[in-house]
C-alpha cells in the first residue's frame, strides 16, 4: 500500500512541476504570439461566419461561377488590384500552373489609365490618386488629386452617388484606410498626402464600413478621434473585434495595423475583411463596396516578384469569395480591374515558373500607362465590356448608369 501511495505521490509531483513549468512559460510568452493564438481561436470559433479558409495564403483553386447577368443591379462590388497589369496576371498563372479565378469571368475589356498630368505633359504615367478619381467620379484629374478636378473643384464620388440612391457604402483595402484608392472613392483633396484631413472627411461622409491599416492617423490625431465619436463610428483594431461585428453596427472604422498591412498573410486577411464588409452592407436597398489589393503595387515598385505573387494570391482569394457570394445573390455586379500597371512586367516566350522572377520588371519599379484588364460578372456585366477598349472614366459612368436604372424609381 505504501508503495502504491509513493508512486501516486511521485506522479502528482511530476504533474505539478509540469503545470508550474507550463504556467511560467505561458506567462512569459511573447505578446504577439499570445495575440496570434487568440486570433486563431477567433477564426475557428467563427468558422460559420467566414465560409472559407481566410487565414491561409495559397492559390485558390480555379473555378467558374454562374452569375445572373440579366438582373437589375442592386449591389456593386468593385475590386481593384493596385498596379495589377495584365502581365502580372499571366505571371501568376504561370507560377500557379492554372488560371486565376478572376480570369474565369467571361466579360472582359481593356482600360486606358492615363491622367490629366500625362495629357498635359507633366508626367509620364498616372498615379493611384488620379486613377481612383477617374474610376470614382468619371473625370480626369492631375496626379496626386483626390476627388477634385484639375482646378481643385469637388467632384461627386461613387460613394456619394450611391448614398444619394439610398445604398450602403464600404471600402476595404490593405494600405491606409485613407490611402489614394479608397480615398478617391469618398473624399476630396488637392493632395493625396493630407492623410488625417482625408480620413476626417471620409468619416464625415458616413461611409458605413472602412477596413484597412493606417491606425497612426487615428492615434495621432485628436480631430480624427473626435470625428469618429461625433459620427457614431465603432473603432476596432483586431480580427476578434471584426468577427464579432453584427449588422446592428451601422458604421465601423477598422484599422488593423499602425501602418500598411503589407504582409499578405497578416490577419485579418483581405478575404476576411471583405466577407465581413459584405455581411454588414447586405441590405434591401443594396450597397457599393470597393475592395483593393493594395500591396500588389507596393512590391512591384520594389521589384520583388515573390512578394508580389503572394499579394496576387490574396487578391484572387478575395475575388473567389466575392464571386461565390454574388452567385447566391442575383443583382450583384462584380468588376475586377486595376488602377494602372506597375513595374513594366514583361514575360519571355513560353515562360516556365522559374522564369517568373525579379528580372521580369522593366520600369525600375515605376508605374506605366499600359492598358489594364477589366473583368466583369453578374448583373448587367456584359454592358461595360461591349467595346474592346474603354477609358477608366467609363467605369464611373457605367456604375452610375446601372445604379440609376435600378434604384432611381
Q: What is the pLDDT of residue 18?
A: 38
Q: Which one is the CATH code of 75-407: 3.30.300.30, 3.40.720.10, 3.90.850.10, 3.90.950.10?
A: 3.40.720.10
pLDDT tens for each residue of 201-245: 999 999 999 999 999 999 999 999 999 999 999 999 999 999 999
Q: What is the pLDDT of residue 13?
A: 36
Catalytic entry in 42, 103, 115, 128: 128
Distance of alpha carbon 406 from alpha carbon 220, whole angstroms: 42
Q: What is the pLDDT of residue 56?
A: 63
In this prediction, the residues of the chain whose per-residue pLDDT falls under 50 are 1-53
Q: What is the pLDDT of residue 55?
A: 53
Distance of alpha carbon 358 from alpha carbon 351, whole angstroms: 14
Task: Give the three cell numbers for residue 92.
Answer: 501568376
- Cα angle 211, 180, 346; round to 5: 105
> Where are the domains positioned within the chain?
75-407
Cα dihedral value 358, 81, 258, 136, nearest 10: 140
Q: What is the pLDDT of residue 212?
A: 96
Q: What is the pLDDT of residue 164?
A: 97
Contact status, residue 176 vs residue 212, Cβ threshold 8 Å:
yes
Spatial CB neighbours of 140, under 8 Å, sequence gap ≥ 6: 114, 115, 116, 119, 130, 134, 150, 393
- Let me know if 128 is a catalytic residue: yes
Q: What is the pLDDT of residue 260?
A: 87
pTM: 0.87
Amino acid at each position: 500500500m505504501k508503495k502504491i501511495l509513493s508512486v501516486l505521490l511521485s506522479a502528482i509531483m511530476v504533474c505539478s512541476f509540469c503545470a508550474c513549468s507550463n504556467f511560467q512559460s505561458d506567462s512569459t510568452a511573447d505578446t504577439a504570439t499570445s495575440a496570434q493564438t487568440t486570433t486563431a481561436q477567433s477564426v475557428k470559433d467563427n468558422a460559420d461566419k467566414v465560409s472559407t479558409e481566410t487565414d491561409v495564403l495559397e492559390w485558390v483553386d480555379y473555378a467558374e461561377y454562374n452569375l445572373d447577368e440579366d438582373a437589375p443591379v442592386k449591389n456593386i462590388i468593385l475590386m481593384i488590384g493596385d498596379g495589377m497589369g495584365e502581365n502580372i496576371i499571366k505571371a501568376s498563372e504561370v507560377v500557379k500552373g492554372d488560371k486565376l479565378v478572376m480570369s474565369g469571368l467571361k466579360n472582359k475589356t481593356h482600360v486606358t489609365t492615363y491622367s490629366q498630368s500625362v495629357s498635359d505633359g507633366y508626367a509620364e504615367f498616372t498615379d493611384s490618386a488620379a486613377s481612383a478619381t477617374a474610376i470614382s467620379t468619371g473625370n480626369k484629374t492631375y496626379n496626386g488629386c483626390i476627388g477634385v478636378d484639375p482646378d481643385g473643384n469637388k467632384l461627386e464620388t461613387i460613394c456619394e452617388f450611391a448614398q444619394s440612391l439610398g445604398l450602403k457604402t464600404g471600402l476595404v483595402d490593405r494600405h491606409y484606410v485613407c490611402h489614394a484608392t479608397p480615398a478617391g472613392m469618398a473624399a476630396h483633396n488637392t493632395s493625396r498626402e493630407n492623410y488625417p484631413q482625408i480620413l476626417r472627411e471620409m468619416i464625415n461622409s458616413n461611409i458605413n464600413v472602412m477596413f484597412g491599416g493606417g491606425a497612426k492617423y487615428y492615434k495621432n490625431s485628436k480631430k480624427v478621434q473626435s470625428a469618429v465619436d461625433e459620427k457614431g463610428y465603432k473603432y476596432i483594431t483586431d480580427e476578434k473585434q471584426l468577427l464579432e461585428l453584427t449588422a446592428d453596427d451601422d458604421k465601423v472604422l477598422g484599422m488593423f495595423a499602425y501602418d500598411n498591412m503589407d504582409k499578405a498573410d497578416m490577419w485579418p486577411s483581405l478575404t476576411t475583411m471583405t466577407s465581413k464588409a459584405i455581411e454588414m452592407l447586405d441590405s434591401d436597398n443594396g450597397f457599393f463596396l470597393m475592395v483593393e489589393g493594395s500591396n500588389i503595387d507596393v512590391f512591384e515598385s520594389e521589384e520583388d516578384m515573390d512578394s508580389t505573387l503572394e499579394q496576387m494570391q490574396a487578391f484572387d482569394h478575395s475575388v473567389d469569395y466575392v464571386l461565390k457570394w454574388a452567385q447566391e445573390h442575383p443583382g450583384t455586379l462584380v468588376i475586377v480591374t486595376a488602377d494602372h500597371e506597375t513595374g513594366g512586367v514583361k514575360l519571355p516566350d513560353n515562360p516556365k515558373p522559374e522564369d517568373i522572377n525579379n528580372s521580369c520588371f522593366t520600369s525600375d519599379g515605376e508605374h506605366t500607362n499600359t492598358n489594364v484588364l477589366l473583368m466583369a460578372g453578374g448583373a448587367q456585366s456584359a454592358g461595360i465590356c461591349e467595346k474592346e477598349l474603354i477609358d477608366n472614366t467609363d467605369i464611373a459612368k457605367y456604375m452610375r448608369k446601372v445604379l440609376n436604372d435600378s434604384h432611381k424609381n
